[in-house]
Amino acid sequence: MNSELQNLIQNALIEYIVNKVIEKLEQRQKTALVLFTGASIGFRQAIESLNKLQQNGWQFKVVISKAAEDVLTEDLIKKSLNIESVIKEDDKPDIKELLDQNNLIIIPSLTINTASKIANCISDTLITNIVSKAMMSGKKIIASLNACCIENEERKSIYGDNVSLAYKNKLKNNLETIKSYEIELTTSENLFYKVEKYSKKNLNTNNLVINNQSKDNKKTIDLKQPQDKNSLYIKLDKKVISRADVYENRGYNYIFVDKGSLITDLAKEEAKKLNLKIKQE
């Protein structure tokens, strides 16, 4: 077997292994604790965002408040997310265990009542207790503000716009306080994009190293971010460009390769997924 063919086989095997490892790690990392607080405003849009996240490999554990049981109902939430069970207040779950099992907290329907409690550090319900402990443990929280934003058009169409200026300002200040806690506020419509953006930035396979032993040397694929994060492009002098090559250089906007280099289909898919362009010269 000539050395070129051997290198092709070697690279194909490495790419296959890296691909499988990355898939497993992504599945393990895309776990979120979803907290429903009972708001109907923005619920449909939030479900659409959550469904898209599920299609992208996210797995959810769902907690519902007593208000959510009454307003949204347990059956509707389970049916909407195609899940078999939800966690309720009376279940008295182990909050630490829930936080340990999930990498992200999503609140798809934050009510004015819950927003007020979070802003004022009140944790007298299962939902607010989870949020409090999540903040203390440094867990990322992304919440939809459709239902708790006093200027939301859907809210105005239902309840009118006769709120006093002082009360409006208080509710707005609550949201500003929540943002100062580093809870990320977004809309139900934009929930999918915020979660995916966080995932790509923070839930990655940094420090993953796969070794390939050969007769002459030991080859290591290091999937760390490029040291120079400000660089826009990098040149790879390789005959075969694999998914691993694209993934480890995901901090760049462009990867330049030789005109005769073989770019695997998985490498092209990974480049598209990361919004990265491979240029042959």
The pTM score is 0.66
**Is pLDDT above 90 for 112?**
yes
Residue predicted with more confidence, 210 or 2: 2
Higher pLDDT, 236 or 33: 33
Question: Is 162 contained in some domain?
Answer: yes
For residues 109 and 76, state if they share a domain: yes
pLDDT bracket for residue 259 (50, 70, 90): confident
Residues 87 and 110 in one domain: yes
Is residue 150 domain-shared with residue 44, that is, in the same domain?
A: yes
| Mean pLDDT confidence for 152-176 | 92
Provide the number of structural domains found in the chain.
2
Q: What is the 3-state secondary structure (H, E, C) of the chain?
A: CCHHHHHHHHHHHHHHHHHHHHHHHHHHHCEEEEEECCCCCCHHHHHHHHHHHHHCCCEEEEEECHHHHHHCCHHHHHHHHCCCCCEEHHHCCCHHHHHHHCCEEEEEECCHHHHHHHHCCCCCCHHHHHHHHHHHHCCEEEEECCCCCCCCHHHHHHHCCCCCHHHHHHHHHHHHHHHHCCCEEECCCCHHHHHHHHHHHHCCCCCCEEEEECCCCEEEEECCCCCCCCCCEEEECCCEECHHHHHHCCCCCEEEECCCCEECHHHHHHHHHCCCEEEEC
- pLDDT, tens digit, 9 for 90 and up, residues 192-216: 999 998 888 776 544 344 444 343 3
- Res 1: pLDDT: 57
Same-domain check for residues 174 and 149: yes
In the predicted model, what is the mean pLDDT of residues 219-223? 39
Give the rounded percent of residues in the chain with a pLDDT score beyond 70. Answer: 79
Domain that holds residue 74: 31-202
pLDDT digits (tens, 9 = 90+) for 60-95: 999 999 999 999 999 999 999 999 999 999 999 999
Position 170 scores a pLDDT of: 95
Q: What is the pLDDT, as a whole number, of residue 240?
A: 87
On whether both 74 and 56 belong to a single domain, the answer is yes
